[in-house]
Chains A and B, each alone.
Chain A
Amino acid sequence: MSDTLLVEPSAQPAAARVLGTLLRSREIAIGAVLVLLVVLTTLKSSGFVFSSDGWRNLLVSPALLLILAVGQAVVIITRNVDLSVGSTLGLTAYLTGKVFIASPGMPVVAVFVIGLAFGGLLGLVNGLLVAYGRVPAMVITLGTLYIYRGVFLSWAGSDRVNADDFPQGFNDLGTASVLSVPVVMLIALAVMAVVGYYLRTARGGRELYATGSDPDAATLYGLPVIRRVLVAFVLSGALAGVAGVVYAARYGTVSSGAGSGLELQAVGAAVIGGVAIAGGVGTVWGAALGAVLLITINRALPMVGISDFWQRAVVGALIIAAIVLDRVLAARQERQLVAARDLARREPDRRKAGTPA
């Protein structure tokens, strides 16, 4: 079967093709692990799903990281990384509090727009430095991670925004539901759907993949690489801004430490979800599932009585497993392609006939 890869896809039976795609799909694999995890934890403690709080926590807790992971996936697909999202989130969350303190009557939608714009602005700074400075994104965004956090520290100091400072309507957003699906999760799903659709179907979205696969080739081909990278960073920043507003609504308290460390979780979620750190590969659905899996594992392990240390170790193991899996699959595919090529050279007739050996 090693030469099936060189067969035109349409030469295979439709059912086999669909099955093959499903089996190879990282999204399905992550989804299956997630379902298994939820089922096992629920068997141990039924309240994990079957109680009003349990159900809500199951859906609300991952929302924040899901939004960040979607933005992070887009950046990683362009062969960059955005480490500043945690600081951007914290800064926007604090800004949200300050906006409400300054004008308590501000409509919630306007606050989301402010968060989106402010986060986008911080993302634009990253994008400009990366795209025009031609410096590795990891270094630039590591720098802005500290700079944004520093700005936050000097702005907030020992001060914090308390639940008392937010209007009731905004605080309720953290727990409100529509048809028993929490609003926060609906926001995250909407973000995922829009970005995912753009990446899958829009020309701009496809060019992001092309940029990440081989930036030099993309430039030679005439793709607007600089503009695509800018868009990716602005998007990531803007989504971190939205996540900041969600953070404020969910946790009700914002101090200068808010969101620190989240950037690495976002990268971890994207990697677990099958977004290749070398760019050009992956989907936001995968990153989103990775985020949900990461958070749900963190919530499930204490419930089955596993200590803090092991929770972190499990997350680490997952990330390494994801990378190793990618590597193994890539090596296997390479071997298959080489073998198929050799076979095709030796037996050109059989290949033409399209009948696998």
Chain B
Amino acid sequence: MKFRNRRIVAVAAVALSASLGLTACGGSDSDGGAKASGGGGGGDVSITFMPKNLGNPYFDTSDAGGKKAVGEIGGKFQEVGPDAASPDAQVPFINTAAQQGVKALVVSANDPKAICDALNEARDAGTKVVTFDSDTDPSCRDLYVNQATAEGIAKAQIDLISQQIGDSGEIAILSAAANATNQNAWIDLMKKDLADHPNIKLVDTVYGDDDDQKSFDQTAALLQKHPNLKGIISPTTVGIAAAARYLSTSSSKGKVALTGLGTPNQMKEYVKDGTVTSFALWNPEDLGYLAAYAADALVKGDISGKEGDTFTAGKLGEFKVGADATVLLGDPFVFTKDNIDQFNF
């Protein structure tokens, strides 16, 4: 009986203190906000970065870019986030950030809807919300910083392959699953871009299902089936790494060009051994950098998220807000053996 009583008391105490804490925060939003930025003096902007999950090299890179930008602005940088990228894992962190009264929250959403309510509560409390890398519903944020457009991604890959094979010869595409929406959108756009390269002929499109083993075997089959193949485009990070692995050990190494979308860590080995000359992806560091400047511009009131608003993002120059309150980072970033060692994701 005693034990049970004690437990009830404990639960009651926790509940009471929690409700006190909540009411305290709810009642003094503006105070809380002032406190958070008060430490560094007058015009400081506190910007909190929230990746999909912590310990993810991709987001480590983007948040490093964000930190750099916040440093240039003279604001206060903070990085918080869940350990696992599950849909609603970010909600408590968003609530905490709102209670702390941070001026801006830069989020890569694990789910377009699950964190919506929490984000809107934060916005009601005066926090500006910028999404990057992965968007929420447009109604839950002030601005979305988009890393790349489908058109830009398609064009970058066609440009790379045409450079590498001297703008003529047979090429093939190694995609992910046959029903992958983004892959198919890119492939369609690439086919359109190929109209400008009459000497390049797309002879085959095969699917590796984003499986290392299958992509690897499909690459072997492609090379066998098309002895005159000059190049392969793989617009998927798994595919390009598996294709590079196969090429690097085959007699086609150096004869068949390979490009596509990949991450530097996966591709380092193959760029250094000469299997791959260059491949594309956006630069997550620039993405985080731009997102921080966009958040700052929102907080300062330079932009409101309206189409046509412009702001300057440090070394990256001037950006314009597009439709649906979206800012585009720009053309994909090209990785070569000269710059690949600067990245770790």
Binding site for B on A (CB under 8 A): 45, 47-48, 51-54, 57, 61, 157-160, 162-164, 174-175, 247, 251-255, 257-258, 260, 298-299, 302-303, 305, 308
B225 close to chain A: CB less than 8 A: yes
B190 close to chain A: CB less than 8 A: no
With A51-B251, A158-B85, A162-B266 as given contacts, are A251 and B216 in contact (CB-CB < 8 Å)?
A: yes
A61 touches B217 (CB 8 A): yes
- Residues of B within 8 Å of A61, CB to CB, are 217, 220
B242 close to chain A: CB less than 8 A: yes
With A163-B269, A302-B225 as given contacts, are A53 and B251 in contact (CB-CB < 8 Å)?
A: yes
How far is B93's CA from A278's CA once the two chains are assembled, in angstroms? 54
B162 close to chain A: CB less than 8 A: no
With A253-B212, A255-B212 as given contacts, are A158 and B56 in contact (CB-CB < 8 Å)?
A: yes
- Residues of A within 8 Å of B227, CB to CB, are 47
A47 touches B266 (CB 8 A): no
Among candidates A54, A162, A257, A260, residue contacting B224 with C-beta atoms closer than 8 Å: A54
CB within 8 Å of A: which B212-270 residues? 212-213, 216-218, 220-221, 223-225, 227, 238, 241-242, 245, 249-252, 265-266, 268-270
Summarize B's interface: helix, strand, loop or mixed: helix
- Residues of A within 8 Å of B53, CB to CB, are 157-158
- Residues of A within 8 Å of B293, CB to CB, are none
With A158-B85, A303-B221 as given contacts, are A53 and B252 in contact (CB-CB < 8 Å)?
A: yes
Q: Give the distance to chain B from A175, nearest Cβ to Cβ, in Å.
A: 4
How far is B220's CA from A174's CA once the two chains are assembled, in angstroms? 14
Among candidates B178, B245, B251, residue contacting A251 with C-beta atoms closer than 8 Å: B245
With A53-B252, A308-B178 as given contacts, are A251 and B242 in contact (CB-CB < 8 Å)?
A: yes
How far is B211's CA from A61's CA once the two chains are assembled, in angstroms? 15
B224 touches A251 (CB 8 A): no
- Residues of B within 8 Å of A51, CB to CB, are 251
Among candidates B57, B58, B245, residue contacting A163 with C-beta atoms closer than 8 Å: B245
B217 touches A299 (CB 8 A): yes
A253 touches B265 (CB 8 A): no
B56 touches A299 (CB 8 A): no
With A160-B266, A255-B212, A299-B217 as given contacts, are A45 and B225 in contact (CB-CB < 8 Å)?
A: yes
Which residue, A158, A252, A298, has most C-beta atoms of chain B within 10 A? A252
Show 11 A/B contacts (Cβ-Cβ < 8 Å), sorted by A.
Answer: A57-B220, A158-B53, A158-B56, A162-B241, A162-B265, A251-B213, A253-B266, A298-B217, A299-B220, A302-B221, A303-B225
Beyond A162-B265, A251-B245, A302-B225, 4 additional contacts (C-beta under 8 Å) are A162-B268, A252-B245, A253-B241, A299-B220
How far is B205's CA from A302's CA once the two chains are assembled, in angstroms? 12
Among candidates A157, A174, A251, residue contacting B84 with C-beta atoms closer than 8 Å: A157
How far is B245's CA from A48's CA once the two chains are assembled, in angstroms? 20
- Residues of A within 8 Å of B252, CB to CB, are 53
B114 close to chain A: CB less than 8 A: no
B218 touches A53 (CB 8 A): no
- Which chain A residue has the least Cβ–Cβ distance from B207? A308
- Residues of B within 8 Å of A159, CB to CB, are 57
A164 touches B217 (CB 8 A): no
Q: Give the distance to chain B from A258, nearest Cβ to Cβ, in Å.
A: 6
B206 close to chain A: CB less than 8 A: yes
B224 touches A174 (CB 8 A): no
How far is B113's CA from A262's CA once the two chains are assembled, in angstroms? 35
- Residues of B within 8 Å of A303, CB to CB, are 221, 224-225
With A53-B220, A298-B217, A308-B178 as given contacts, are A253 and B207 in contact (CB-CB < 8 Å)?
A: no
How far is B223's CA from A53's CA once the two chains are assembled, in angstroms? 10
How far is B58's CA from A299's CA once the two chains are assembled, in angstroms? 35
- Residues of B within 8 Å of A255, CB to CB, are 212, 238
- Residues of A within 8 Å of B266, CB to CB, are 160, 162-163, 253
Closest 6 CB pairs of A and B: A302-B221, A163-B269, A175-B249, A164-B269, A252-B245, A53-B250
Q: Give the distance to chain B from A325, nearest Cβ to Cβ, in Å.
A: 28
